[in-house]
Amino acid sequence: MSARQCPNCSAFLPPGQIVAYSYDLICPSCQHPLEISALSQNLSAYAGLVVGATVWWLASAHYSGNPGALGWVMPLLWSYLAFSVVAPLVLIFTADLNLKPLDSIVFQYETPASPHPSH
């Protein structure tokens, strides 16, 4: 299977849906609940952490001469932004989808209307 492909019907999911609804994925073709494999999730998180640490190291070297808050806030800000961009991009390219087991699906039911009129 390639990345972002449903294992049930082989339909491709759009990349925005993978990133935005990573815990509530539903195949647009067969309507089967899907989940992203643990390997894909861990790989994207690890890649984001590596890039974030590298950006923090480079930004710390750049801002080391600045006294005050700018010297420690800017490396944290740039590393957070790097992690926030790289982790979803890696997840888009490596998202291996599996069928979600039925025991992990949460069904939501609406409560029935009350039989008496409201006051």
How confident is the model at residue 10, as a pLDDT? 85
CA distances from 61 to 51, 54, 66, 68 (A): 15, 11, 10, 15
pLDDT digits (tens, 9 = 90+) for 67-107: 777 778 888 999 999 999 999 999 989 888 888 887 766 66
| CB-based burial label for 1 (10 Å; 0-12, 13-18, 19+) | exposed
pLDDT digits (tens, 9 = 90+) for 39-60: 989 999 999 999 999 999 998 8
Tell how strand 97-99 and strand 25-26 pair up.
unpaired
